[in-house]
Amino acid sequence: MTENWHFTHVAKFKKRKGLDAFLDVAEGLAGGTIGARSRRGGVLGMLFFEPSTRTRMSFTAAAGRLGMTVNDLGGDGVSSKSKGESDEDTVLNVAQYCDAMVVRHADDWFASKVAEETKTPVICGGAGKRSHPTQALLDLMTVRQCQRRLDHLSWVICGDLARGRTVKSLLGLLRLCDGIRVTLVNPPDLGLETSDIDHAKTRMDVRVVPCLAEACHGADVVYMTRMQKERPLDQHGQPAGVVDYSDCFRMTKECLGNLPADAIVMHPGPCGPEITDECKADGRNVILKQARNGMFARQALLDAVVARDQKEWWSWFGDA
Ligand code: NCD
């Protein structure tokens, strides 16, 4: 029996073979070798307390491909939040109408907390600065398709690592891979916390360099991220938006010149000035492929959750 049907953290994957099994299903759906099963009658709740394009629309598309109905809370002006209802009460009430819910919230722990209070499966669609587990799945799906492997890859991860949540979930899944080298590049004061770096170092080679162009030599994957201007830099006491990207943190012509021909450039979106026009036009840019893969990765997850498919669930999240 499953302990629960929530998916709020990548640590739910305990073994590499579970991650591989999940990616097999997502890739099978993308490639058409696995036919979509119908989950007609299923209802997916969408509770986005922060803006979203890719996560929201790919979950909606995934649910549509399964024949499900999507019940979207809508923005603040539409729901009873405008009457003072708490976000937690909102989720627990909406849970009564759904077979699964996608929850995005600015609080790092909101989705995990509500998951403890409801039996309706909660899927984290982005948790504050801390976690974005389905994004990490579609990221690794894209890497496996493009590079034909997940092990022994040299990653460059660049941008606002302090406030970006995708990178933390990505590093969580990379723990299941062997021979990973990670080069971190970030503006001053926007690096990962020392505890996160130390934790990563227990499973992979990690170095920090000051400039992207230098880091691009020999990289297999460059994972770019945007400046998270809407999030206050609380730990440093600086107001949001005072720091901007210099060329050191943009995928410039020089960076592209240093990057091996078979490398790929990724970005979770939305892209800012860090993705230059030269990068947009470069064949190594797989950003739209990531966006599309999001639909299939989320479809794979939703399918198993809504069907309460124990066999599939354990093949991903079991520890045997
Ligand atoms: C990310 C998010 O919202 O966490 N986008 C996404 O879901 N694809 C990244 C971001 O906002 O920078």
For ligand 1, atom 2, the nearest C-alpha belongs to: 126
CA of 225 to the centre of ligand 1 (A): 9
Mean pLDDT in residue range 186-211: 96
Determine how many CB atoms are found less than 10 A away from the CB of residue 61.
17
pLDDT digits (tens, 9 = 90+) for 60-112: 999 999 999 999 999 888 889 889 999 999 999 999 999 999 999 999 999 99
Residues with CB under 6 A from ligand 1: 54-55, 126, 132, 135, 164-166, 226, 268-269
Ligand 1 atom index nearest CA of 125: 7
pLDDT digits (tens, 9 = 90+) for 258-293: 999 999 999 999 999 999 999 999 999 999 999 999
Ligand 1 atom index nearest CA of 132: 4
Sheet strands side by side (includes 154-158): 205-208, 181-185, 154-158, 221-224, 264-266
Mean pLDDT in residue range 21-35: 96
Ligand 1 atom index nearest CA of 55: 7
CA of 270 to the centre of ligand 1 (A): 6
**pLDDT bracket for residue 189 (50, 70, 90):** confident
More confident residue, 204 or 232: 204
Q: What percentage of the chain exceeds 90 in pLDDT? A: 89
Mean pLDDT in residue range 293-305: 98
Q: What is the pLDDT of residue 320?
A: 83
CA of 170 to the centre of ligand 1 (A): 12
Ligand 1 atom index nearest CA of 164: 12
Q: What is the pLDDT of residue 239?
A: 45
Rounded to an integer, what is the distance from CA 164 to the centroid of its chain? 10
Q: What is the pLDDT of residue 247?
A: 85
The residue length of the chain stands at: 320
CA of 165 to the centre of ligand 1 (A): 8
Q: What is the pLDDT of residue 304?
A: 96
pLDDT digits (tens, 9 = 90+) for 119-128: 999 999 999 9
Mean pLDDT in residue range 11-38: 96
- Which residues lie below 8 Å from residue 195, measured CB to CB, with a gap of 6+? none
Ligand 1 atom index nearest CA of 226: 12
Lowest mean pLDDT among 2-11, 147-156, 174-183: 2-11
The answer on pLDDT for 176 being more than 90 is yes
Q: At what angle do helices 287-307 and 310-317 cross, to 10 degrees?
A: 130
What whole-number distance in Å separates Cα of residue 264 and Cα of residue 150?
A: 13
The answer on pLDDT for 245 being more than 80 is no
**pLDDT bracket for residue 238 (50, 70, 90):** low
CA of 287 to the centre of ligand 1 (A): 13
CA of 320 to the centre of ligand 1 (A): 33
What whole-number distance in Å separates Cα of residue 135 and Cα of residue 154?
A: 20
What whole-number distance in Å separates Cα of residue 229 and Cα of residue 268?
A: 16
The answer on pLDDT for 242 being more than 50 is no
Q: What is the pLDDT of residue 246?
A: 82
Lowest mean pLDDT among 3-7, 90-94, 128-132: 3-7
Q: What is the pLDDT of residue 77?
A: 83
